[in-house]
Structure 1
């Protein structure tokens, strides 16, 4: 249950207790998490560490870090998951969430119907179709190691 009405901010308030999948990497402006409800291992979400609703509201420092994080994440996903392409998307329409960016690996063997915008067919999965917490935590630790080396 959220206390501020913003899921992302409520998770940030619990930062020290977050599992590996919810703090893969971070700096003073951004935090990298593995998406919940995803049927694709490696579906990452890049979230600002302060409450911000629109891209135009980012500070210059946050904006500068945004591009660097997107490239760094694409590189580690390619290396760890053999994903030759990474999609980046921001829609900001979900109630209860502030600005966030999907950073999604596109594996070589992905079904053709799930390429491009079709990849979002792998999000919003039920418990029996989504990547489990243990697998997300295992990947989070591997990605964190790559990001700090």
Structure 2
């Protein structure tokens, strides 16, 4: 699929400052348009449509990547809640939005309202500033599991 028609595919060309990790199957980045501090996108690296398009190997590794990423984001942001959202409508390439929710988020912006933060809390500089700490926390978890 051409990069111009698939935002998750376009992330293969993301600036290094936005990349939390990349392995042969999965990647995690701060994505333009969703660059709220504490928000990250976990995506399968090849163009696979929705969860049904994942291979057995991708399925077998997804849970571990997701758990390690959510734990890392929660640790770094000290968020009382970290959401995982998967829609697949606008961008059917399989991906999940990991969204940390701080204590400062008002009630109407929690749970299903979390996506309303996309416009009023976007701050690319602050979002990218979290990448190194989340990457360190993620890699520390991945090393523990590989032993």
Please indicate the TM-score interval, normalised by the length of the shorter structure.
0.7 to 0.9
In the TM superposition, what are the counterparts of 1:11-22 in structure 2 within 5 Å?
11-12=11-12, 14=13, 18-21=15-18
In the alignment, the residues of structure 1 paired with residue 116 and residue 90 of structure 2 have an alpha-carbon distance, to the nearest angstrom, of: 16
Q: 1:41 to 1:146 in 2, by over 3 A?
A: same
In the alignment, the residues of structure 2 paired with residue 141 and residue 39 of structure 1 have an alpha-carbon distance, to the nearest angstrom, of: 15
8 Å CA contact retained: 1:37, 1:131: no
Q: 1:24 to 1:39 in 2, by over 3 A?
A: closer
Provide runs of 4+ in structure 1 moved above 3 Å.
none
TM-score, length basis structure 2: 0.83
| Equivalence for 2:64 | 68
8 Å CA contact retained: 2:36, 2:127: no
Equivalent residue for 1:113, pick from 101, 104, 108: 108
| Equivalence for 2:123 | 131
Aligned residues: 139
8 Å CA contact retained: 2:11, 2:31: no
Shift of 1:3: 4.5
> Do structure 1's residue 25 and structure 2's residue 21 form an aligned pair?
yes
Unpaired runs of at least 5, structure 2:
141-147
| Equivalence for 2:75 | 79
Structure with higher helix content: 2
In the alignment, the residues of structure 1 paired with residue 31 and residue 7 of structure 2 have an alpha-carbon distance, to the nearest angstrom, of: 13
TM-score, length basis structure 1: 0.82
| Equivalence for 1:44 | 40
8 Å CA contact retained: 1:8, 1:98: yes
| Equivalence for 2:145 | none
Shift of 1:10: 3.1
Shift of 1:36: 2.6
User: What RMSD, in angstroms, separates the aligned Cα atoms of the two structures?
Assistant: 2.1
Q: 1:117 to 1:84 in 2, by over 3 A?
A: same
| Equivalence for 1:5 | 5
In the alignment, the residues of structure 1 paired with residue 135 and residue 106 of structure 2 have an alpha-carbon distance, to the nearest angstrom, of: 28
Unpaired runs of at least 5, structure 1:
none
